[in-house]
Amino acid sequence: MSTILGACHPDGEYVCGKRKVNEVEAAVVRRIMQEYILGRSPRAIAHDLNHEGVKGPQGKMWNPSTINGNWRRGTGILNNELYIGRLIWNRQRFIKDPMTGKRQSRMNPENEWVVEDVPSLAFVEAKLWDAVKKKQLEMRRKVTDPDTGKVHPKGARRTKHFLSGILKCSCCGGAYSIYGNGYACSNAKNQGTCDNHRILNKKKIEAIVLKGLKDNLMQPEYVEEFVNAFHDELNKLARRQDKKRILMEKELKKVDAETEKLIDAICSGVPAEKVKARMIELDNRSKELKQLLAVHPSSLPRLHPCLSTMYRDKVAALSDALMDDNGNAEAFNALRGLIKEARAIPTDKEPQIELYGELPALIKLANKNPTAKNSEVLVELVAGARYNLSPTFKFSA
Ligand SMILES: [Zn+2]
């Protein structure tokens, strides 16, 4: 929210002396703070603002996180000290995670912060600000253990759920997130911009998707067709990739045919001396070609004809592993990797789920022992293939 107008050049540099407060947006900030200290949740405040058509920061929709932010990092409407005329630099630094290459922020110690007082830009009174800080502390105490300072399990950041990020709302396209024991459209929950207020029972919906993964995504009749079409495609590719080999095979046939002819000629009375030189030449070339062809065996991957059966067995095993031990991260990730998207369609009765498979992952899992090198080719091929395998399928919960 650019409550301070003219504060930045497009390149992000601050322009001194040219900043002034955007009074319209400043009023929104004060309203948020006032409602918050009266006990309204950031979620409810965000809903109202979206309903009223009030634009959030960068013209986006309001979310609880836009308001809450992170009090330690000074982010979010409730924590921006610029509103009380304090401009803070060097609060955090960015480091690159050597494992993932992703940028991560780290807090700098408070004595390294650079604080600049800009009272002309303050538009939130100290009294209101202090009340917000007091309320935040109160809220934090509710979720942290006073003895250990640790977050209560209930308030703790939850681990990833099986369908988080995968399950989408068919009304607004937004993602479903976990609320209590169920998945719900986060746009409906957080922004109030979707009317789909159904909550899907977590256990039930996960079991249904797992069953769908096993029984519906690779139906044998589609798979057989796919395997055939895939192999046709593979052969085309092999021919393209190995033109040299094809040419060598053709030449070998020619060499053999000519040799046959010369033998026939000798049999029918042509003096062997006359064709001897050519015979030796052909014989040498034949040996050479055979050797070259032996070095280049065709090594492209093949799909197992019983793909769907093997797939089903593997998914069943993974599901069992997931059920036996909820911490089985390998099974969890392997199964999640098979799903491109699951769409929840609210109906009057039971919700319907539309499941979309991640084709390369499905094939890779099903195909028996593909070598590492070959499976890369395989996945690349499958990704490019447009066959009627793993189509969408709908089913009811
Ligand atoms: Zn929605």
> How many whole angstroms from 166 Cα to the centroid of ligand 1?
14
Query: pLDDT digit string (tens) for 343-354?
Result: 888 777 777 888
For residue 47, the CA-to-ligand 1 centroid distance in Å is 14
End-to-end CA distance of the chain: 42
Cross-strand bridge partners of residue 343? 168, 354
Categorize the per-residue pLDDT at 84 as very low, low, confident or very high, splitting at 50, 70 and 90.
Answer: very high
Expressed in angstroms and rounded, the spacing between residue 342 Cα and the centre of ligand 1 is 13
pLDDT above 60 for 24: yes
How many whole angstroms from 198 Cα to the centroid of ligand 1? 9
Checking 373-376 for CB contacts under 8 A at 24+ apart, the result is 374/299, 374/300, 374/301, 375/301
pLDDT of residue 348: 74
Question: Mean pLDDT over residues 238-245, rounded?
Answer: 74
Backbone angles phi, psi at 6, to 5 degrees: 70, 15
Cα 127 to the center of its chain, rounded Å: 45
Distance CA 63, CA 160 (A): 20
Strand 167-169 relative to strand 339-345: parallel, antiparallel, unpaired? parallel
CA distances from 223 to 166, 340, 362 (A): 24, 18, 11
Looking at residue 8, its pLDDT comes to 42
- What is the Å distance from ligand 1's center to 194 Cα? 5
Q: pLDDT at position 363, please?
A: 79
Query: Which uninterrupted H or E stretch holds 87?
Result: strand 86-89
Q: What is the pLDDT of residues 106-146, one digit of tens each?
A: 788 888 888 888 888 899 999 999 999 998 888 877 666 55
pLDDT band at 150 (very low <50, low <70, confident <90, very high): low
Give the pLDDT score at 220: 78
200 alpha carbon to ligand 1 midpoint, in Å?
13
Return the pLDDT at 397. 41
Tell me what the mean pLDDT of segment 79-97 comes to.
84
In terms of residues, how long is the chain?
397
Ligand 1 centroid from CA 213, angstroms: 23
Rounded to whole angstroms, the Cα distance separating 170 from 319 reads 26
Q: How far is the CA of 170 from the centre of ligand 1 (A)?
A: 7
Most confident of 148-152, 290-294, 296-300: 290-294
Instruction: Identify the residue with better confidence: 380 or 251.
Output: 251
CA–centroid distance, 168 to ligand 1, in Å, is: 8
Domain 4-143: which CATH number of 3.90.1750, 1.10.3470, 3.40.50, 2.10.25: 3.90.1750
Give yes or no for a contact between 346 and 198, defined as CB atoms under 8 angstroms apart: yes
Distance 163 CA to ligand 1 centre (A): 15
Q: What pLDDT was estimated at residue 12?
A: 40
SS3 content of the chain, % helix, strand, coil (to 5): 50, 15, 35
Average pLDDT over residues 55-68: 89
The winner for highest mean pLDDT among 35-39, 55-59, 254-258, 372-376 is 254-258
Instruction: List CB contacts of 165: < 8 A, sequence separation 6 or more.
Output: 175
Mean of pLDDT values over 277-305: 82
What's the mean pLDDT in 325-335? 74
Please state the rounded mean pLDDT for residues 57-77.
88
Ligand 1 center–CA 176 separation, angstroms: 8
Q: Tell me, what's the pLDDT at 378?
A: 67
What are the boundaries of each domain within the chain?
Answer: 4-143, 208-223+304-396, 243-295
